[in-house]
Amino acid sequence: MPLNEDALWYKDAVIYQVHVRTFQDSNGDGIGDFQGLEQKLGYLQELGINAIWLMPFFPSPLRDDGYDIADYCSVHSSYGTLEDFRKLLESAHHRGIRIIIEMVLNHTSDQHPWFQESRSSTDNPRRDWYVWSDTDNRYKGTRIIFLDTEKSNWAWDPISKAYYWHRFFSHQPDLNYDNPAVREQMWQVMSFWLEMGVDGFRLDAVPYLVEREGTHCENLPETHAVLKDLRRRLDEQYPGRMLLAEANQWPTDLRPYFGDGDEFHMAFHFPLMPRMFMGLKLEDRKPITEILQQTPEIPATCQWSLFLRNHDELTLEMVTDMERDYMYDSYAEDKTMRINLGIRRRLAPLLQNDRRRIELMNGMLMSLPGTPIIYYGDEIGMGDNINLGDRNGVRTPMQWSGGWDAGFSTAEPDRLYAPLIQNPVYGYPAVNVLSQIGSDHSLLRWMQRIILVRRSSAVFGRGSIEFIHPANHRILAYIRRLGNEAVLAVNNLSGAAQAVELDMRKYKGNILIEMFGKNIFPRVSDQPYLLTMGPYQFYWFKLRRV
Amino acid sequence: MAEENLLTDDFVRQLINVGEVDILVGLPTYNNAKTIGAVVQSVQSGILRWFPRERAVIINADGGSRDGTPGLVTGVSIDDMRPVASMNALRTLHSISTQYANTPANGVALRSILAAAELLRAKACVVISPDSENIEGEWLWRLLRPVYKDGFDFVTPTYHRHKFDGLLVTNLLYPMTRALYGLRIREPYTSEYGFSGNLGSQFLARNPWEDKSNDSWGELRFTLEAIRERSRICQAFLGNKHHVERRPSDLVPALRQTVGPLFSALDSDFSIWSSVTGSQPIGTTGPDSPELLEPVRVNRKRLREMFSSGVADLSSVFQSILAASTLSELQRIARQSETEFEYSAELWVRTVYEFAASYRKSVINRDHIIQALAPLFRGRAFTFITENRNGSAADVENNIESLCLEFERLKPYLLQMWRSGQ
């Protein structure tokens, strides 16, 4: 299956997020690798996704799950070789699947040779590749992101006898983007992978590239200038490739990252995700519609990226204090589930393994404006292990079968990079790909179907959205529209059956065709359109004039 | 279901949109545009502050206002179409209204609210008076919390009142319900109270829509229902009671809504009150923080004049209602000068009890009996005001307590009349 040549391919994509370490171990060392991932491309193709976002696979001391990169132009030996990666890329493309890789622009590992050189002497040519200071009093207005572990954004380097700037862990010094040599070098790094054929980058932590005194050192114009320059070079030299911004910001602060369609192609919509969970718990569409109404228009070539869960905590930075308290009490009563300003849990445990709620959340993910991202394992309802440190509890091996090592590896179980989920509800004997493939009604089969339906119409990826505001606040309803095509999505956020009247007069004369079963529903008239919805049920209707 | 006949289709549609709730605030209204705006704003802020996570609804039962009252109530709804108002709200707040009639009727308003509470499966409900200009958001917390969090079924308020405010409560309703049922519920007839959904449903079941005699009764009946059901009852201190000016002509309707149900209940509740002696205090929550109260002006002279003329004009009626000795005593004091005049506690209690007994026997039309009580109450009010004109708040309290004890002491007299009439 050839790759779709459309330059806006990312708008129609369904992305699968995976860390190579977690997916499939081909050589029996207990760690997933490129060859293992390549072996499982058929599974992903059958799932229906058409892009993979690979988390960092570079050489790294792995003190931050690979986001502490020690060499940008190689791969971690545990995952294979550069040649293995090339083969994975080729095989994926052959199956019509694009590969998006991670690029951490903001910082390196303190083990990176650049930092080692930089700290070695104030005269070193790479001294200015990082942000150094004699005091820790600069940039005082800057917040600390990892509140649980870091007390300051400055760390004392005993070798260099100076402070260096870090927005994340202290072992991740920030690069100095005021230095043209750094900017040039990072473009060279990106070119290295683009030449190989990668289809896009998820650019990590982009708001923090540049620092300026008297600011909070986020979203600065100078940072946007750096990013625009990267985009310009990308378009000139590698058209059709994509940049995805990781910027945990309010939508209005995110909007500049799209520029005039000349900065990022895509950006995560961070504030929406917690509000989807909030809306579900409250049984009220208000949090969801409010944040989407506050979401500004973006250029036609740009796209939001939506997700339910990922490798990090369910971040609660972009909510009010009251909302955060509510989310904690609702989804993380056990305080060990909390980390930083968020909740370190997977989708299924967050939703108490309630199949109806899992489906509803995925239904919204797939029908709200944006490109959906599925976190590996969530398509089968994998659980987590909150007893593992940091966010490792949501990064356990993929559960392929109920057999040895869950089919992930042939290594001795205690050699696996992380323990398998073992508990009776979510453990691999109960939750695995093999058993779900064998059941037409499994979550996996259902995910295959919804992805198929989503991909059957461009309206989901490219259409406009128009909210209908039924008086029943438990119902979230909207029309997605692209050209002459229109789809009505109706979601019941309540655990009880609901009656709802939709004002559909604008679409008078259309009949509704339910997109999963293809059944016809009554024609829209001047009267309110009455629907009865089961608990947590959702409908997608295609509107047709017949 | 009987309530299907009362609730309009439009109101039912609104209730469907609201769905199940935890908290329900009921607002019975009739032409309250002057005050309702401030009241609903306080209710809204109270919900947002004290019950931000709970599913809440404001239900307005309107008796046919022509001044735009319902629109002022529904205007405080919070939803995704009103983003500014909802900045600090987690969830949607529905504020809906129904017009049950073209004339106000307390009983219908309350039953409309109760029917909505039952359909919405409300856990805790509160009724707020549209006149409560001094309402604070915290009232909701005080009236609802005992129900929502602590398992109480009924919460009545206590207030700081001016010593001459609420004379019907202090001179009749409170002491008589206390003597009858043995519970010291200080405000048995109140326009603000909290209750559980269960109690509301029980009440609704006992007072069917079809019985039109239920339409005009007041909230006292709800209090009696709570007592009758042996509900868990507590009191919540709400601060100063805002005094609402009343005209003399308001007295008879007030007696109909309060004394009528109380006298009616004596029959059905005989097995309950006949065995009660003494009384028990009710637990009260909330800080007691006295503040200066606005003075209440009372035309004493007019009270006494109305008493005297009433005794003279209604002597034939009183002969049917009162014992000869009581009537004779009333006629005696009616002739007294203003400075000598005294309608003693004992005489007042005998009067009330004899009215209750006559009401039971329907010696004359029951409504006429209630109306006939009005001039006598005015006489008692005159004495109460005179006795307490220079008294401190504590002195007044002591006098009210003495009157309550008199009601309790003379209860055997009521019992005797009751039994002799059986």
Q: Cβ contact (<8 Å) for A473 and B81?
A: no
Of the listed ranges A188-192, A368-372, B216-220, B381-385, the one predicted with least confidence: B216-220
Q: Cβ contact (<8 Å) for A286 and B81?
A: no
Residue B388 above 80 pLDDT?
Answer: yes
Which residues in chain B are contacts of A473 at CB distance < 8 A?
A: 17, 19, 79-80, 91-92, 94
Burial of A77 (0-12, 13-18, 19+ CB in 10 A): exposed
When pLDDT is averaged across residues A379-383 and rounded to a whole number, the result is: 98
pLDDT, one tens digit per residue, over B311-364 is 999 999 999 999 999 999 999 999 999 899 999 999 999 999 999 999 998 888
Tell me, yes or no, if A471 comes closer than 8 A to chain B by beta carbon: yes
Tell me, yes or no, if A409 comes closer than 8 A to chain B by beta carbon: no
Q: Cβ contact (<8 Å) for A278 and B90?
A: yes
All CATH 3.90.550.10 domain ranges of chain B, comma separated, are 2-285
List the structure tokens of B133: 């200009």
Q: Cβ contact (<8 Å) for B80 and A290?
A: yes
Which residues in chain B are contacts of A294 at CB distance < 8 A?
A: 83
Residue B79 above 60 pLDDT?
Answer: yes
Q: Which residue has 């009581």 as its token pair?
A: B326
pLDDT score recorded for residue A318: 86
Which residues in chain A are contacts of B20 at CB distance < 8 A?
A: 496
* Contact (CB, 8 A) for B338 and B302: no
Q: Which of A282, A471, A472 sits opposite B90 (nearest CB)?
A: A282
With bands split at pLDDT 50, 70 and 90, how would you rate the model's confidence at B285? Answer: confident
List the structure tokens of A231: 């985009």
Q: How far is B17 from chain A (nearest CA, A)?
A: 4
When pLDDT is averaged across residues A307-314 and rounded to a whole number, the result is: 92
| Percent of chain B predicted with pLDDT > 70 | 90
A497 → chain B, closest CA residue: B19
pLDDT score recorded for residue B214: 63
SS (H, E, C) A159-188: CCCEEEECCCCCCCCEECCCCHHHHHHHHH
Q: Which of A322, A473, A499 sits opposite B52 (nearest CB)?
A: A322
DSSP H stretches of helix in A30-112: 34-39, 41-47, 82-94
pLDDT score recorded for residue B2: 42
With bands split at pLDDT 50, 70 and 90, how would you rate the model's confidence at A459? Answer: very high
pLDDT score recorded for residue B392: 86
With bands split at pLDDT 50, 70 and 90, how would you rate the model's confidence at B210? Answer: low
List the structure tokens of A455: 């991909």
| Percent of chain B predicted with pLDDT > 90 | 69
Tell me, yes or no, if A285 comes closer than 8 A to chain B by beta carbon: yes
Reported pTM: 0.88
What topology is assigned to A113-165 in CATH? Oligo-1,6-glucosidase; domain 2 (3.90.400)
pLDDT score recorded for residue B171: 97
Q: Which CATH class is domain B2-285?
A: alpha beta
A288 → chain B, closest CA residue: B80
Which ipTM score applies to this complex?
Answer: 0.83
CA nearest neighbour of B373 among B258, B262, B255: B255
Residues whose CB falls within 8 Å of the CB of residue B324, separated by 6 or more in sequence, listed in order: none
Cβ under 8 Å to B: A residues 321-360: 322-323, 326
List the structure tokens of B349: 């209690």
With bands split at pLDDT 50, 70 and 90, how would you rate the model's confidence at B87? Answer: low
B82 → chain A, closest CA residue: A290
Tell me, yes or no, if B14 comes closer than 8 A to chain A by beta carbon: yes
How many Å apart are CA A512 and CA A521, to the nearest integer? 5
Fill in the amino acid letter for A23. Answer: F
Which residues in chain B are contacts of A321 at CB distance < 8 A?
A: none
How many Å apart are CA A160 and CA A168, to the nearest integer? 20
Q: Which of B55, B80, B89 sits opposite A285 (nearest CB)?
A: B80
pLDDT, one tens digit per residue, over B38-62 is 999 999 999 999 999 999 999 999 9
pLDDT score recorded for residue A133: 97
CA nearest neighbour of B356 among B204, B175, B222: B175
B88 → chain A, closest CA residue: A322
Q: Which residue has 């992805």 as its token pair?
A: A451
B15 → chain A, closest CA residue: A472
Q: Cβ contact (<8 Å) for A285 and B90?
A: no
- Architecture of domain A464-545 in this structure: Sandwich (2.60)
Number of C-alpha atoms within 13 angstroms, CB side, residue B396?
20
Q: Is B219 left (phi over 0), alpha (psi -120 to 50) or beta?
A: alpha
pLDDT, one tens digit per residue, over A185-194 is 999 999 999 9
With bands split at pLDDT 50, 70 and 90, how would you rate the model's confidence at A357? Answer: very high
Residue B102 above 80 pLDDT?
Answer: no
Q: Edge-to-edge strands of the sheet including A520-521?
A: A464-468, A475-482, A485-492, A538-545, A510-514, A520-521
What topology is assigned to A9-106+179-455 in CATH? TIM Barrel (3.20.20)
pLDDT score recorded for residue B213: 63
Tell me, yes or no, if A63 comes closer than 8 A to chain B by beta carbon: no
Q: Which of B52, B53, B81 sits opposite A469 (nearest CB)?
A: B81
Residue B387 above 80 pLDDT?
Answer: yes
How many Å apart are CA B225 and CA B233, to the nearest integer? 11
Distances (CA, A) of B92 to A516, B52, B77: 31, 10, 8
List the structure tokens of B207: 């007072």
Q: Which of A282, A290, A470 sits opposite B83 (nearest CB)?
A: A290
pLDDT score recorded for residue B293: 63
Q: How far is A492 from chain B (nearest CA, A)?
A: 12
CA quadruple B171, B176, B177, B182: dihedral positive or negative?
positive
Residues whose CB falls within 8 Å of the CB of residue A297, separated by 6 or more in sequence, listed in order: none
Q: Cβ contact (<8 Å) for A498 and B90?
A: no
Q: Cβ contact (<8 Å) for B80 and A283?
A: no
* Contact (CB, 8 A) for B236 and B142: yes
Question: Which residues of A are known to be catalytic?
Answer: 204, 246
Strands of B130-198, DSSP E: 154-160, 193-196
How many Å apart are CA A491 and CA A536, to the nearest integer? 7
Cβ under 8 Å to A: B residues 34-53: 52-53
Tell me, yes or no, if B54 comes closer than 8 A to chain A by beta carbon: no
* Contact (CB, 8 A) for A275 and A287: yes
Which residues in chain B are contacts of A499 at CB distance < 8 A?
A: 16
Do the strands B94-99 and B56-62 form a parallel or antiparallel pair, or are they unpaired?
Answer: parallel
Residues whose CB falls within 8 Å of the CB of residue B264, separated by 6 or more in sequence, listed in order: B359
pLDDT score recorded for residue B36: 95
When pLDDT is averaged across residues B234-257 and rounded to a whole number, the result is: 82
Which residues in chain A are contacts of B78 at CB distance < 8 A?
A: 286
As a whole number, the mean pLDDT across chain B is 90
Q: Cβ contact (<8 Å) for A282 and B91?
A: yes
Tell me, yes or no, if B80 comes closer than 8 A to chain A by beta carbon: yes
With bands split at pLDDT 50, 70 and 90, how would you rate the model's confidence at A473? Answer: very high
When pLDDT is averaged across residues A511-535 and rounded to a whole number, the result is: 96
Q: Which of A284, A293, A496 sits opposite B83 (nearest CB)?
A: A293
Q: Cβ contact (<8 Å) for A286 and B80?
A: yes
Q: Cβ contact (<8 Å) for B16 and A284?
A: no
Which residues in chain A are contacts of B10 at CB distance < 8 A?
A: none
How many Å apart are CA B298 and CA A67, to the nearest integer? 80
* Contact (CB, 8 A) for A397 and A409: yes
Q: How far is A470 from chain B (nearest CA, A)?
A: 8
Q: Cβ contact (<8 Å) for B91 and A286?
A: yes
* Domain regions of chain A by residue span: 9-106+179-455, 113-165, 464-545
Q: How far is B80 from chain A (nearest CA, A)?
A: 5
List the structure tokens of A80: 């294979």
Q: Beta-carbon neighbour count of residue B143 at 10 Å?
A: 29
Residue A339 above 90 pLDDT?
Answer: no
Residue B4 above 60 pLDDT?
Answer: no
Which residues in chain B are contacts of A471 at CB distance < 8 A?
A: 13-14, 17
